[in-house]
Amino acid sequence: MAASRSSNGIGRHSQRSTLLKVVILGDGGVGKSCLMNRFVSNHFDEQSFHTIGVEFLNKDIEINGESYTLQIWDTAGQERFKTLRTPFYRGSDICLLTYAVDDPVSFKNLNLWKSEFLYYAGCGCSSRIIFSLHYYVGNKVDVPESEKRVTTEEAEQWCSVNGGLPLVETSAKDATNVETAFSAAVAAWAKLEARVERPLLEDTVDLSKQQNAYRSNCCLPSFV
């Protein structure tokens, strides 16, 4: 079941802050909980256990002068917890699809996680439209070179083939690029939101109704 360990009660699009729901997905053991805890509290636990079900933490950040509250959902990667985690996919604004650079199976499973997310988020989107912005995160870059099984070049090539979505390599253990992964995703989300809410002036079609549809069914144009 879900467990909240931090909350400040700020609502979506309030005067103070914009609330964004962030879901971290990936195989068990890739470091999803460690990424969340490093980002939120700058803490790393070498002995952390696998997440059971779903839990979340909140984090307030500022990007380009705008305030955001990130509600970050950490989901269990094991198949037996699928029915517990999937109800929390709906309404997500950002998804971080995560693998470990020393675990090639977790890298190969990214498409499965993406498909599961698309399905259970409840959005019937075409291949050119994604309902929320998502990034690929390669965690555990702190491991020795001899233990790396997924190279940066291989991952970047795969991301390019699979929609040109961004890749950030991180280490929750030594904090490499953890802040960057979350901040860059929020900045990209804001750019997407601006495109939807402020269509080009030369467009002659009234997009106001389409705009509302995007927000109601959580679909946003893909960001490259």
**Torsion of Cα atoms, 89 then 90 then 95 then 99, to 10°:** 20
Please give the Cα distance from 207 to 201 (Å, whole number): 11
What is the extent of the structural domain holding 46? Answer: 18-201
Q: Are 38 and 176 in contact (CB under 8 A)?
A: no
Is residue 10's pLDDT more than 80? no
pLDDT at 119 (0 to 100):
82
* 209: in domain: no
Domain of residue 68, CATH code: 3.40.50.300
Cα-flanking dihedrals φ and ψ of residue 188, to 5°? -70, -40
How many domains is the chain partitioned into structurally? Answer: 1
* 1: in domain: no
Q: Would the pTM of this model clear 0.85, i.e. be above it?
A: no
The amino acid that residue 137 corresponds to is V
- Which residue has better confidence, 205 or 80? 80
Nearest to 61 by CA among 50, 75, 72: 72
* 35: in domain: yes
* 208: in domain: no
- Which residue has better confidence, 196 or 140? 140
* 217: in domain: no
pLDDT tens-digit map of 141-162: 999 999 999 999 999 998 888 7
Burial class (CB in 10 A: 0-12, 13-18, 19+), 70: buried
- Which residue has better confidence, 184 or 82? 184
pLDDT at 117 (0 to 100):
85
* 12: in domain: no
* 83: in domain: yes
Exposure of 38 in the CB half-sphere (CA atoms within 13 A): 24
Q: Are 17 and 67 in contact (CB under 8 A)?
A: yes
